[in-house]
Amino acid sequence: ILTAHRKDPRRLVQILRAAQSEAGWISPEIAAFLADELCMPISRIHAVVQFYAFLYDRPVGRYRVLFSDNIIDRMLGSVALRQHMQRRMKVGRGAVSADGLVSIDTTSCTGMGDQGPALMINNRQIVRLTTRRIDEICDLMRDGAPLEDWPSHYFTISDRIRRAESLLGTSYVPGKALAQAIELGPQGVLDDLRRSNLRGRGGAGFTTAMKWELCAEAEAETRYIICNADEGEPGTFKDRVLLNSFAERIFEGMAIGGYAIGARHGVIYLRGEYDYLRAPLEMKLAAMRQRGLLGTNVLGVPGFDFDIEIQMGAGAYICGEETALIESLEGKPGRPRIRPPFPVTRGYNDMPSVVNNVETLCKVVEVMRIGGRAYALLGTKQSTGSKLISVSGDVARPGVYEYPFGVRIQTVLDDCGATDVAAVQISGAGGMTLAPHEFGRRIAFEDVPTSGAFMVFNRSRDMFEVARNFMHFFAHESCGFCTPCRVGCALSASIMDKIAAGLGAQYELNELTRLGAVMRTSSHCGLGQTAGNAVADTLQKFRPDYERRLMAGDFAPAFDLDAALERARQVTSREDAQAHLEGVA
Ligand code: SF4
């Protein structure tokens, strides 16, 4: 493993993943060996292992089961299915069975919201779970059957493309867009991209041409094009479809970027949950090399060398943030960097780097195909082109829908067969919660921006529980770097639990609002800044879902204060009335 990774400490995450897939977990012996071989303190190994959810510093079951805990999976019955499996396998949540055969736990979201409930087992995804399938899986695990021998249809994941426009609906000729780029020349590509006004599809909407220009202008011998394939936003799965069925466009978009900014190296950072896509992607990369679309002298152009490698994530949502992603690529815990410097001047390996979303790179191919001016005519003035939307929840037809920017929320709801809708959560857990009076709004950067998640909740749903699930998601995924987010998310989640337990009062609602404001204004990165959005939106628009849980009084403790003092009484040998709360005057 070390040889394959050139004993490069910057590949620590990849090395640990490979070591774990051999040994099952990162034992103290493995950690010490790696620290020695890679000449780094063992504390760094521990820090990395403890940061990533899919790296383990303690033994896990030979079958490692992780149920997707996204709110949509929950709505589809994932909690009952997990408990059923736990009963059958006689193992608690987060524990390993006594015989070491199986461990069962949850993970935030596996990117299968259109075909849940879903689980991962030893990095393989299984979707459309039912009680019957859980029983079959239990039997297979008890028999010790290797995953390769399990029925192949268990692992079948559909694209579910429901509506296609300029990206999903047009044919593609490999190399044509790249040839067009070469004809334009590097500056011509940047000019055409600027004319298209293409904006990043990851959510922030930064102009792609400006990003590329800044990187091209930075003084350096080496530059990188990085594809952010770490879509971890709950309710998002459209990049999964692009990676599965449109991968060549992603590669070609990266090659065009490499040509325009003078980069020879491309890296795809693929989320750990999409491990099953890695082998097919590698095969498609090899085919691209054979066609002369990657490698040396690409398309016969002397000196145009560009190739792509895939690096895997390991279960950390925050690595979707571009500087956290770069930290992860460099073998560190994925904590967002302080900016400036920005990645376009000092990114991966301290070199100028462009980080683009999967969908954005596909769009680059489209711009080259039809030209920047024609592209700018699609969509709206500030949001050109089309947008892929991942639709899930209470709809008749979940899946991926492509629309020109500017589409109304109601149009999407009509198309996916949603009825009696109470709310739509746009752009994942940190996005906007829209109520019916807002369904006339448009998906566009100038109105409702989105990275692509579109979760639908009908009137039978409890929006308090939706917001509670999102707050637990953020409490789990906060990287812990800054206090407002680390403490704010954890406190907010525990306040939501207190309200759920019927112990909340008006005081708790005020606290949630206050904490949300602190997180929004003081957190270091977008995760903390947006973590309180769903609570704020649902408090305002679905307040009865909170208020019907509140007690009449102003405040109630979430636990028994007197009982909590028992240990102190023992230590001080006191049992008199004054040592009890009710004894205090
Ligand atoms: Fe980490 Fe949260 Fe701070 Fe972002 S806001 S750096 S996720 S602790």
Q: How far is the CA of 328 from the centre of ligand 1 (A)?
A: 15
Whether the Cβ atoms of residue 319 and residue 333 lie closer than 8 Å to each other = no
State whether the beta carbon of 479 lies less than 6 angstroms from ligand 1. Answer: yes
Q: What is the pLDDT of residue 579?
A: 84
Residue 165, pLDDT > 60, answer: yes
State whether the beta carbon of 337 lies less than 6 angstroms from ligand 1. Answer: no
Q: How far is the CA of 323 from the centre of ligand 1 (A)?
A: 12
Q: Whose CA is nearest to atom 1 of ligand 1?
A: 479
Q: Where are the alpha helices (DSSP H) in 218-277?
A: 238-245, 247-261
**Residue holding tokens 């449109």?**
246
Whether the Cβ atoms of residue 580 and residue 562 lie closer than 8 Å to each other = yes
d(CA 317, CA 334): 9
Instruction: Please name which of 531, 530, 535, 537 lies closest in space to residue 435, comparing C-alpha atoms.
Output: 537
Residue 484, pLDDT > 60, answer: yes
Residue 50, pLDDT > 90, answer: yes
Q: How confident is the model at residue 168 (pLDDT cuts 50, 70, 90)?
A: very high
**Per-residue tokens: 203:** 């959510």
Q: Where are the domains of the chain?
A: 9-51, 63-158, 162-376, 386-461, 464-547
State whether the beta carbon of 332 lies less than 6 angstroms from ligand 1. Answer: no
Residue 345, pLDDT > 80, answer: yes
State whether the beta carbon of 489 lies less than 6 angstroms from ligand 1. Answer: no
Q: What is the pLDDT of residue 222?
A: 97
Q: How far is the CA of 321 from the centre of ligand 1 (A)?
A: 10
Measured from the CA of 519, which atom of ligand 1 is nearest?
A: 5
- Does the interface ipTM go beyond 0.95? yes
Those residues whose C-beta lies under 8 Å from the C-beta of residue 316, and which sit 6 or more positions away, are 51, 52, 53, 324, 328, 333, 334, 477, 479
Q: How confident is the model at residue 580 (pLDDT cuts 50, 70, 90)?
A: confident
* Percentage of the chain modeled with pLDDT above 70: 98
Measured from the CA of 481, which atom of ligand 1 is nearest?
A: 8
Q: What is the pLDDT of residue 205?
A: 85
Q: How far is the CA of 236 from the centre of ligand 1 (A)?
A: 21
d(CA 424, CA 114): 15
d(CA 45, CA 39): 11
Residue 583, pLDDT > 60, answer: no
Fold designation for 386-461:
Ubiquitin-like (UB roll) (3.10.20)
The whole-chain average pLDDT of the chain stands at: 95
Give the mutation target among 519, 523, 533 for probing the ligand 1 site: most ligand atoms within 8 A of CB: 523
Q: What is the pLDDT of residue 584?
A: 54
Assign domain 162-376 to its CATH superfamily. Answer: NADH-ubiquinone oxidoreductase 51kDa subunit (3.40.50.11540)
Those residues whose C-beta lies under 8 Å from the C-beta of residue 269, and which sit 6 or more positions away, are 226, 227, 228, 229, 230, 311, 312, 313, 319, 325, 328, 329
Q: What is the pLDDT of residue 552?
A: 74
| Mean pLDDT calculated for residue range 184-203 | 95
Give the mutation target among 524, 530, 533 for probing the ligand 1 site: most ligand atoms within 8 A of CB: 524
Q: What is the pLDDT of residue 568?
A: 86
Q: Whose CA is nearest to atom 3 of ligand 1?
A: 482
Q: How far is the CA of 207 from the centre of ligand 1 (A)?
A: 24
Domain 63-158 has CATH 1.10.1040.50: no
| Mean pLDDT calculated for residue range 145-154 | 96
Strand partners of residue 119 = 67, 126
Q: What is the pLDDT of residue 578?
A: 82
Residue 513, pLDDT > 80, answer: yes
State whether the beta carbon of 527 lies less than 6 angstroms from ligand 1. Answer: yes
Q: How far is the CA of 523 from the centre of ligand 1 (A)?
A: 6
Q: How far is the CA of 516 from the centre of ligand 1 (A)?
A: 14
Measured from the CA of 318, which atom of ligand 1 is nearest?
A: 7
**Per-residue tokens: 189:** 């590509």
Instruction: Please name which of 326, 400, 325 lies closest in space to residue 165, comparing C-alpha atoms.
Output: 400
Q: What is the pLDDT of residue 553?
A: 67
State whether the beta carbon of 523 lies less than 6 angstroms from ligand 1. Answer: yes
Those residues whose C-beta lies under 8 Å from the C-beta of residue 531, and which sit 6 or more positions away, are 429, 430, 471, 474, 478, 485, 488, 489, 492, 516, 519, 523
Element of type H or E holding 399: strand 399-404
Rg of the chain in Å (alpha carbons): 25
What region does 14 belong to: left with phi over 0, alpha with psi -120 to 50, or beta?
alpha
d(CA 352, CA 224): 7
Give the mutation target among 321, 481, 529 for probing the ligand 1 site: most ligand atoms within 8 A of CB: 481
**What is the architecture, at CATH level 2, of domain 464-547?**
Up-down Bundle (1.20)
Q: How far is the CA of 528 from the centre of ligand 1 (A)?
A: 5
Q: Give the pLDDT confidence of 232-277 residue by residue, as tens digits.
A: 999 999 999 999 999 999 999 999 999 999 999 999 999 999 999 9
Q: Where are the alpha helices (DSSP H) in 341-462?
A: 358-370, 372-376, 409-415
Lowest mean pLDDT among 48-57, 551-560, 572-581: 551-560
Q: How far is the CA of 537 from the centre of ligand 1 (A)?
A: 21
Q: What is the pLDDT of residue 574?
A: 87
Give the mutation target among 318, 477, 533 for probing the ligand 1 site: most ligand atoms within 8 A of CB: 318
Q: Give the pLDDT confidence of 211-229 residue by residue, as tens digits.
A: 999 999 999 999 999 999 9
Residue 361, pLDDT > 80, answer: yes
d(CA 485, CA 518): 9
Q: What is the pLDDT of residue 341?
A: 96
Measured from the CA of 324, which atom of ligand 1 is nearest?
A: 6
| Mean pLDDT calculated for residue range 442-471 | 96
Q: What is the pLDDT of residue 555?
A: 67
